[in-house]
Amino acid sequence: MPRWFRIWEKKRGSRRTVSRVVATVGETFFFSALFFFGVIFTAMAAASTWLETWPIRAMFPEVAYVKGEGIIQETRVAEVGTEGYPRFRPEALVLIELPERQYLRWTLRRNELTFSTEEAAWQRLEGYKPGWIYPAWYDPESPGQSIILERTPAYGLWVIFLVLISFIVIGGIGLIYTLLLMGTSVERRAAMAKKAKTLELLREAMPAATYPSIPNDANLTNSPGVRLAFRLPIEVSPGWWLLATLIFSLLWSGMAAVFFIAALGKHLSGNPDWLLSIVTLPTTAVALAAIYQFLREVTNHTRVGPTGLEISNHPLYPGKEYRVFVTQAGKMKVKQLRISLICEEAATFLQGTDVRSETKRVVEEEVAVAKGFEIKPGMPFEADYQLKVPEGSMHSFKSDHNAIHWKLVVQINADHSTRLSRSFPIVVYPAEVELVR
């Protein structure tokens, strides 16, 4: 029975070739984890710093300190350390007056500052004169045990933010690069290099001014195919859809992380906010569901692989027959692969003060159906079919308020409830145009 993930594809002597599917899945999940970790923990660190709650407050207590006025009562140098290794610590007796009471404490900095000689310690205290008022900082929750005259630069906090942001940048760039390459096959790259030398720089085409209402097909014929003349572009790239899913899950996860750290800080401080906690639960659940949906989309698109559709001629004309060549890569058992020719009519109109758009499918014809086959890594499904545009069909059309779109749609129904639909736009010209030409 074939395995879904095959770690090794080929063995050549003592070397092995890693599976392309496993490599793509591994890269995607690695960069996704890196990106999610960076975004979520950056949001949590920023929220913890702004709200002055755990864990930043536990790691860097001075972020919660407030500024006040301290009166120097006296100064001294305390001897610390051992007899063989004496150290001297400068201290100042600071008095702060708060509305509820006064606090007195020997202090200078939160982190102990010591010197090797007593003279150096006294020199450190030269700037502090008894009876003078100096800026002082303290923790509002415990002012008597936290008075300081000098704040320690929070370089460690900035290092944490730089590391987390680097995770976001590295994970984001790697993930976007992986997703954009997900729909590009090796055959596609080889075909572009092979046929680039044989392409005509100028080809016969209808002047745009003669039929201004017919969409230009320049973007549909600028890519060579492997078997046939042109490779049709996909209407909506799976990479962009995955990127949109990723952005939503990241934004929602960041918001959920802020709610979570705020609610957790309230509970740890002994003053829980139950309304905030109730709001945090569904927000976190939606964030987890969004992450699950993104990972599921990545898995599905990785298993399905890129879909390629080539056509023998372009533009198309009603009543004429053309060849289409479909390739489907991946690693899956396909229940059904169906190719359909679809024509949709779109209209944009005013209804009161609102602008509305409606689309109606007017033509849907089955081009080909393939059932019950298996796709293996390195062995994509390939098939050649005949396509005929129905006689008397309306040509492609586009104006400010109306449009007629033609497209070929490849629908895939595979195992594990995998269902995907990929569209490839085409342009149909009027039948009489070919006669004129």
For 46, residues 6+ apart whose C-beta sits below 8 A from its C-beta are 161, 258
Terminal-residue alpha carbon distance, the chain: 56
| Residues 320 and 436: beta-carbon distance below 8 Å | no
Whether 315 maps to a domain, the answer reads yes
Expressed as residue numbers, the domain containing 132 is: 61-153
The per-residue pLDDT for 204 is 40
The verdict on 332 and 227 lying in the same domain is: yes
The verdict on 91 and 223 lying in the same domain is: no
Whether 257 maps to a domain, the answer reads no
CATH number at residue 349: 2.60.40.640
The verdict on 313 and 430 lying in the same domain is: yes
Claim: this prediction has a pTM higher than 0.85 = no
Whether 259 maps to a domain, the answer reads no
**Structural domain count, the chain:** 2
Single-letter code of the amino acid located at 406? W
CA distance 86 to 71: 30
The verdict on 314 and 403 lying in the same domain is: yes
Q: Which of 153, 168, 183 is the last residue of a domain?
A: 153
Q: Which of 107, 122, 153 is the last residue of a domain?
A: 153
Length of the chain, in residues? 437
Looking at the DSSP assignment, which residues form a beta bridge with residue 421?
Answer: 411
pLDDT in tens, the chain (437 residues): 344 445 445 544 455 555 566 666 677 778 888 888 888 888 888 888 887 777 787 788 888 899 999 999 999 999 987 878 889 999 999 999 998 899 999 999 988 889 989 999 999 999 899 999 999 999 988 888 899 999 888 878 888 888 888 888 888 888 777 766 655 555 554 554 555 444 444 344 444 445 678 888 888 888 888 889 999 988 765 566 677 777 788 778 877 887 887 788 777 777 788 887 888 888 888 888 888 888 777 777 667 778 889 999 988 999 899 999 999 888 888 999 999 999 999 888 777 777 788 888 899 999 999 998 888 877 889 999 999 999 888 889 988 888 999 999 999 888 877 778 889 999 999 886 554 45
**Which two three-digit tokens encode residue 269?**
């401080």
The verdict on 134 and 230 lying in the same domain is: no
Whether 375 maps to a domain, the answer reads yes
The verdict on 335 and 429 lying in the same domain is: yes
Whether 332 maps to a domain, the answer reads yes
CA 53 to chain centre: 28
Q: Which residue from 34, 66, 45, 235 is spatially nearest to 141, judged by alpha carbons? A: 66
The per-residue pLDDT for 275 is 80
CA 101 to chain centre: 53
202 burial type by CB count under 10 A (0-12 exposed, 13-18 middle, 19+ buried): exposed
Which residue carries 């900035």 as its tokens?
158
The verdict on 110 and 228 lying in the same domain is: no
Residue 363 φ then ψ, to 5° = -135, 135
DSSP class of residue 331? S
Single-letter code of the amino acid located at 98? L
DSSP class of residue 100? S
Residue 2 φ then ψ, to 5° = -70, 145
The per-residue pLDDT for 179 is 67
**Which two three-digit tokens encode residue 232?**
């049709």
Whether 327 maps to a domain, the answer reads yes
Distances (CA, A) of 322 to 314, 316, 389: 9, 8, 9
Q: How many C-beta atoms lie closer than 10 Å to residue 325's C-beta?
A: 18
For 150, residues 6+ apart whose C-beta sits below 8 A from its C-beta are 108, 109
The verdict on 120 and 225 lying in the same domain is: no
CATH number at residue 111: 2.40.50
CA 322 to chain centre: 40
Whether 249 maps to a domain, the answer reads no
CA distance 214 to 45: 55
Crossing angle of the two packed helices 155-182 and 20-51, in degrees rounded to 10: 150
CA distance 270 to 424: 59
| Residues 104 and 93: beta-carbon distance below 8 Å | yes
Beta strands 133-138; 66-81: pairing state: antiparallel
CA distance 304 to 419: 9
Whether 378 maps to a domain, the answer reads yes
The verdict on 229 and 355 lying in the same domain is: yes
The per-residue pLDDT for 157 is 84
Q: Which residue from 381, 297, 374 is spatially nearest to 335, judged by alpha carbons? A: 374
Q: Which of 118, 153, 188 is the last residue of a domain?
A: 153
The verdict on 227 and 107 lying in the same domain is: no
How many CA atoms lie within 13 Å of 159's alpha carbon, on the beta-carbon side?
6
The per-residue pLDDT for 19 is 58
| Residues 279 and 272: beta-carbon distance below 8 Å | no
The verdict on 354 and 222 lying in the same domain is: yes
The verdict on 411 and 321 lying in the same domain is: yes
